[in-house]
Amino acid sequence: MSRFAVAKDCVLGSLETIVAELLQAKQKFRRKSLWNVRNPFRPGSKEEQMVVWLTGARRGAWKDFVSGDKGDAIDLVAFGLQGHVDDGTRMTALEWIEDRFGLRSMDKGRREQLAAEARAKLKAAEATDQKRRKTSIDRARKFFFACHPTVIGTPAAAYLSARNAPIERVPNLGRSLRYRRDCEYWRAEGKPRMPAMIAAMVDVAGKIGACHYTFLRPDGSDKAVVEKAKLMFPETSGLVIRLTNGPSGLSAEDAAAQGVSGICGLVEGIEDGLSAAIAAPDLRMWSCGSLSGFRSVPDHAAVSGWVVFKDNDWGKRQAQEQFDLAIARLKSFRKPVEVISMPADWGKDVNDAIRSGW
């Protein structure tokens, strides 16, 4: 193995410790699959602007969404030491890693032994993560099916009506929305319970992989007054909320089995999707849950083309970059793709535009 390969294995084996040390990272925004950290070399940097992946094949990879800087585990050390990545800082990082792990004076046999131990540690960590993910997904599925089976007649319906997306008017509504009157808000101290609209986020086979939570005021007049009223659990990559079944009324799986396909509308938010479904009942409507969700929308045999509703508050360079990559990926499916952007004076999204009377 090369010096760089051995050093990289060592970094991956002790990644969390190195991230905490070099980037002064705290636990606040650490999740199982990734860790949001602050760029210590950019004044005013916020934790949500830089991320280090902690699991799977991307473990050790990182990206600063403001500057665009990114790289692998060696680059992470180089950046953490000197604030930029080039050939010189990579060599400095290599020397730092070798010194930290006592690699400089090791013979070939000891190097190979250490590399093998690091690989074994990484493999064990990945196995633990897979087990954790399965447990989390099972928990999300059980939670969804334990919720009230419809939002009709609940504060969630009142909330949607207030957002000009009355659930009773949505054509060919799917089975993705449920209601929970005493949902735990886990981000607040004491974990208070409050009403919530729960949406199933499913994979390409229609199997639930996560839940989307919209926490509400008791009467459903608006979102709950909390730090963040919309949350998702657990990881949501490759998942969507199937809001409607389009003009056929068939689920995506049943439509594919019968050779039926049609245009699918993609939106970020649930309210946007329901509003669009009322205005354009000829579309099957899916919500991605977040801007990043557009990057992993699964292709499906029931979809013959895509209409993507773009919010107009995605003006930041990194947001536009994410959206452009998402569109390029959708086009790679070799199906028609059309983007509809909301003019600023109509509101920030489809729901705002409809509420403003366009």
pLDDT tens per residue, range 153-171: 999 999 999 999 999 999 9
Q: What is the pLDDT of residues 244-260, one digit of tens each?
A: 999 999 999 999 999 99
Max Cα-Cα span within the chain: 74
Stated pTM of the model: 0.72
| pLDDT at residue 314 in the model | 55
d(CA 77, CA 95): 11
Residue 218 has pLDDT above 90, yes or no: yes
| pLDDT at residue 105 in the model | 67
User: 100: closest CA among 217, 222, 225, 13?
Assistant: 13
| pLDDT at residue 141 in the model | 97
| pLDDT at residue 33 in the model | 81
Least confident range of 40-44, 197-201, 277-281, 343-347: 343-347
User: 221: closest CA among 304, 157, 308, 316?
Assistant: 157
Distances (CA, A) of 358 to 47, 122, 211, 222, 279: 38, 54, 32, 22, 11
Take residue 67 and report the two structure tokens written for it: 């500057």
Distances (CA, A) of 291 to 163, 174, 288: 20, 22, 7
Model confidence at 343, pLDDT cuts 50, 70, 90, reads low
d(CA 200, CA 213): 9
Which tops the pLDDT comparison, 168 or 65? 168
| pLDDT at residue 24 in the model | 81
Residue 353 has pLDDT above 60, yes or no: no
Amino acid letter for position 355: R
Question: Phi and psi for 35 in degrees, rounded to 5?
Answer: -135, 115
Q: What is the pLDDT of residues 2-20, one digit of tens each?
A: 889 989 999 999 999 999 9
- In sequence order, which residues have a C-beta less than 8 Å from that of residue 290 and are 6 or more positions away? 232, 236, 268
Tell whether the torsion through CA atoms of 53, 237, 223 and 321 is positive or negative. positive
Model confidence at 210, pLDDT cuts 50, 70, 90, reads very high
- The residues facing 347 across adjacent strands are none
To which residue do tokens 């009467």 refer? 219
Q: What is the mean pLDDT of residues 114-141?
A: 81
Q: Tell me whether strands 62-64 and 70-71 are parallel, antiparallel or unpaired.
A: antiparallel
Least confident range of 95-99, 190-194, 241-245, 314-318: 314-318
| pLDDT at residue 56 in the model | 85
Residue 204 has pLDDT above 90, yes or no: yes
Neighbours of 76 (CB within 10 A): 24
Residue 149 has pLDDT above 70, yes or no: yes
3-class DSSP state of 173: strand
| pLDDT at residue 18 in the model | 93
Which tops the pLDDT comparison, 112 or 27? 112
To which residue do tokens 């329901």 refer? 274
Kind plus residue range of the DSSP H or E element containing 70: strand 70-71
| pLDDT at residue 38 in the model | 85
Residue 180 has pLDDT above 70, yes or no: yes
Q: What is the mean pLDDT of residues 338-343?
A: 81
Take residue 332 and report the two structure tokens written for it: 């790679």
Residue 216 has pLDDT above 90, yes or no: yes
Q: What is the mean pLDDT of residues 59-76?
A: 92
User: 290: closest CA among 241, 344, 353, 327?
Assistant: 241
Least confident range of 28-42, 106-120, 162-176, 259-273: 106-120
Long-range CB contact pairs, 335-339, < 8 A, 24+: 335/299, 335/303, 335/304, 335/305, 335/306, 336/304, 336/305, 336/306, 337/305, 337/306, 337/308, 338/305, 338/306, 338/307, 338/308, 339/307, 339/308, 339/310
Which tops the pLDDT comparison, 350 or 130? 130
| pLDDT at residue 118 in the model | 63
Residue 358 has pLDDT above 50, yes or no: no
Mean pLDDT of the chain: 88
